[in-house]
Chains A and B, each alone.
Chain A
Amino acid sequence: MTPSSQARRTLVVVGHGMVGHRLVELAVEKGLTDTWDVVVHAGEALPAYDRVGLSSFFRGTTADELCLVTDGFFDHAALDLRLSDPVVSVDVDTRTVTAASGRVTGYDALVLATGSTAFVPPLPGATGPGRFVYRTLDDLERIQAASVGRRTGAVVGGGLLGLEAADALRSLGLETTVVEFAPRLMPVQVDEAGGQALRRLVEDLGVAVRTSSVTQVIETTDAGLRMVFSDGDPLDVDLVVFSAGIRPDDALARAAGLMTAERGGVLVDDACAASAPDVYAVGECASAAGRCWGLVAPGYDQAAVVVDRLRGGGRAFTGADLSTKLKLMGIDVASFGDAHAETPGALELVWADPVAGVYKKLVVSDDARTLLGGMLVGDASAYPVLRPLVGAQIPGNPADLVLPERGVAPVGIGAAALPPTAQVCSCRDVTKAQICAAVSEGGCRDLRAVKACTGAGTVCGSCVGLVNDLVTTELDVLGVVVSNALCEHFDLSRAELFEVVRVKGLATWSAVLAEHGRGRGCDICKPTVASILASIDGQYVLDGERGGLQDTNDHMLANMQKDGTYSVVPRIPGGEVTPGNLIVIGQVAQDFGLYTKITGGQRIDLFGARVEQLPLIWKRLVDAGMESGHAYGKSLRTVKSCVGQTWCRFGVQDSTSLAIELELRYRGLRSPHKVKMAVSGCARECAEARSKDFGVIATENGWNLYVGGNGGFRPRHADLFLQDVDTETVVRTIDRVLMLYVFTADRLQRTAPWVEAMEGGIEHLRAVVMDDSLGLCAELDAAMVRHVATYSDEWADTLADPERLARFTSFVNAPDVADPSIAFVQERGQIRPARPDEKPLVAGPTLPVRHLDRIVEGVRA
């Protein structure tokens, strides 16, 4: 060993969960790793993942996406992560830990971050097949596997986690019952009235609720499991998930002789130090400031305390905010501060609307001037603003904070009214001042940058709206104009332009330019306006002024290649092609000498056509009952299919027919960017539907619909949007989402970033198209009906009109001459463009390249 490495000290971290990992991150961030080596023993096989976001696993989020470790993080020389190697004993005298593998490691400091385990009530029949807990990715995978082909499930525990678990079972297609021992759901967070409102919301989701129900025994029957209660009828289910609380995992500490708290948890002081020298405990395994904190934010705070202490600092953990927000599809519940009005003299302001399922309560000080806490059921939109106000003076009338007609964030309590010290993100402990500084001093110019720089909004996400408001306000203060102008000719964004064109009924480029633009346009705004006009009225894309607006490809109704020739991609809806049509395509390719290739989108691309050959090629296709296809244009490309139920032994629905139906329905629709779809006949997913803007995957009971997928530059799996729906619902929903995308996306924004940037995310999108929350559905439907009704084969339309055909010549003064600059050579029995050194000497730029301002003057007509 070199002297310098001898001088280094070793920190051993036991447990690579959310808090353990945060501690390692902080050790690197704060420079602790300059002098310390950090050895991390992980009990699980996967590195730390986002347990808070665990339930999203059932909505299609992968283990990879949940991973908290950034690429290459553990390449750091001072870090050593040992996966699947739990520590089995700690010896505080010899200062060593022993792992399951037998490996012994000495420590200069030890941090226990073993988290907690799910509590399973000690009742007969609580363990065995069909019984699960809800804590790790493994647990979720097991539940998912066990749910296949099953019908019913129950969750024991109606708290925050129990409801999340119930929602998960429901999303797996199980009829679900929540069994709660207390008289109401989420008894810790809400009061009796709030519990009633919550119950109705949960039942509306289709989840049955049994409160005041004590499970006595779980029997195994022939059909599955039978839950027997102290009163009431027994319940027969296929599987049971326990979510009845957590127990700090302090077994190692007990065995090592460390002091533990009465109700469990490694007892630590405000430095998070345990009862033996240089041993610390953080996260859910620790009992700090008098209790175990079952939330991630206090754990992160404790991690920061330990790192600070190891660096010689004096940071202390003295307690934390227990505010929580339920993360359930469609149900808003939040509770914060002194929600149960335990402060002496506290007053409660209550507002309830049983019809709308809304219940709100604010707890204020006896003089009604200081906000102490509150609970929000059914509409928690004010939560991010209210939570940081706890302990602060209420600006104005407290009633303004709850009464809905005065707005979600009434004047005076918006982002601007928060004091600089207000903690905006409780998960990562980020204050308003830090967020504003990231903008004003750190140079951050958008939400994404502020999240990356401060960490705010990166854990549970409930503060994101507020962070965004702060960023916008701060940019405003700085006078930074966040421009979303299309280009120098239009101050409006594409979405704004779409809206005004649609509402005012503008039908020509001149009108749009005159009313909203300046100058003469350019290659950015012209095609954008052309696309908007086409989306709205579906007229032939080349008539009148519109021809001049189109990108080269749309202008020639084919794809330009590097040498100025074009490719033609006959439409092959759903990838299904008759032998006859296949022969026609082959014949055309042969007759015109075109290079032929199978595309990545299940069709055949014919390359090397000159401008004047295009109409001749289309005519051959049209005569054979085909059409050329959009491989150009910001429009629908292909709907890939797999062979599906018709032939495949695994297929459960007719994926090919649906793919063809979708391709024929949406072909030709001009959109902000290209749109791709695919339909798979079963979960094996041979059509790769989840990498498409719209993906449909067959299930036993119908179809699952996914939206917002992307291959390409930044691949993204599509989000699960609907489950087990029929064909009609799939089509109607795609109609609406697709039209909403056409109405509101930015120029060249694919659906993936569009969904990601959407405020309120996929839930909002679902509300808009399924519940008509914006009252837009009728309009979206009408727009799609119009598109379908007005679709017309633009290649056939061109052939039918000599005037339209006139543009398809290489030279205006020599219509019969083929472009002499185009040259091909043979490769593998087909043509390819000649490289410059292979080209025969043809007409080219033989003249010197320079400016001619001098002679141009006066000569020009």
Chain B
Amino acid sequence: MTQWRSICPAARLPVERGVAALVDGEQVAVFRTSDDRLHAVSNHDPFSGAMVISRGIVGSRGERHTVASPVFKQVFDLETGQCLDDPAVSLVVHLVRVHDGVVEVALEAQALSA
């Protein structure tokens, strides 16, 4: 079963920017984009090794919603986790939703086992 974890009130999420959350020991970067969609990916930047994806700039490339690593500026697709500058690399994508005004995240591992 998907194990949803409460993160924070939905109002606490900035628009077009991310926050980091600690979910069962995992660091998750949660974003709300200007069209009010939520995205959750691993906070781990595969290029620098630092836990900083939540501090990147969000935006778009073509139709895709993206976040750019603040360290070396690689751009990732928020939907799929795919790095658009280096197709061999991806971020782990987690599940995210708003439930009763609260943001909830489910880690990818738990989602898989569901």
Contacts and interface: CB of A to CB of B under 8 A. Distances in A.
A391 B100 CA distance: 85
Contacts of B112: 855
B14 to A, nearest CB: 7
Q: Say which size band chain B's interface belongs to.
A: 35 or more
A850 B41 CA distance: 12
A812 interface: yes
Contacts of B46: 845, 849
Interface in B4-48: 6-8, 12-17, 19-23, 25-27, 30, 33-34, 37-38, 42, 44, 46, 48
A811 B93 contact: no
A400 interface: no
A797 interface: no
A529 to B, nearest CB: 12
Interface string B93-107: 101111100000001
A812 B8 contact: yes
Given A811-B21, A812-B20, A861-B38, A551 B30 contact: no
A79 to B, nearest CB: 44
A311 B70 CA distance: 59
A838 to B, nearest CB: 12
B67 to A, nearest CB: 9
B41 to A, nearest CB: 10
A646 interface: no
Interface in B34-90: 34, 37-38, 42, 44, 46, 48-52, 55-62, 65-66, 68, 70-71, 73, 75, 79-82, 89-90
Q: Which of B38, B57, B97 has the most C-beta atoms of chain A within 10 angstroms of its own C-beta?
A: B57
Contacts of A848: 92
Q: Is the interface of A mostly helix, strand, loop or mixed?
A: loop
A197 interface: no
A813 B21 contact: yes
A123 interface: no
Contact of A523 (B7, B8, B73, B95): B73
Interface in A787-846: 807, 810-814, 817, 819, 821-822, 836, 843-846
Given A519-B60, A812-B21, A845-B46, A548 B93 contact: no
Contacts of A814: 21-22
Contacts of B15: 545, 548
Contacts of A522: 57, 59-61, 66, 68, 75
Nearest to A556: B55
Contacts of A551: 57, 70
Interface stretch (A59-67, A496-504, A560-568, A575-583): A560-568
Contacts of B16: 520, 545, 548
A856 B93 contact: yes
B11 to A, nearest CB: 11
B56 A523 contact: yes
Nearest to A817: B22
B8 A552 contact: no
A819 B29 CA distance: 13
A82 interface: no
Contacts of B80: 851-853, 856
Contacts of A173: none
Contact of A850 (B23, B52, B90): B90
A306 B70 CA distance: 60
B90 A849 contact: yes
A223 interface: no
A523 B22 contact: no
B51 A860 contact: no
A846 B95 CA distance: 17
A525 B21 CA distance: 27
A563 B50 contact: yes
A526 B59 contact: yes
A836 B46 CA distance: 13
Interface of B: 2, 6-8, 12-17, 19-23, 25-27, 30, 33-34, 37-38, 42, 44, 46, 48-52, 55-62, 65-66, 68, 70-71, 73, 75, 79-82, 89-93, 95-99, 107-109, 111-112
5 pairs of A and B residues whose beta carbons are closest in the complex: A861-B97, A552-B70, A522-B59, A564-B50, A523-B68
16 contacts: A488-B62, A520-B60, A522-B61, A523-B73, A527-B57, A547-B17, A548-B58, A812-B19, A812-B30, A819-B20, A844-B44, A847-B42, A847-B108, A849-B92, A851-B90, A861-B99
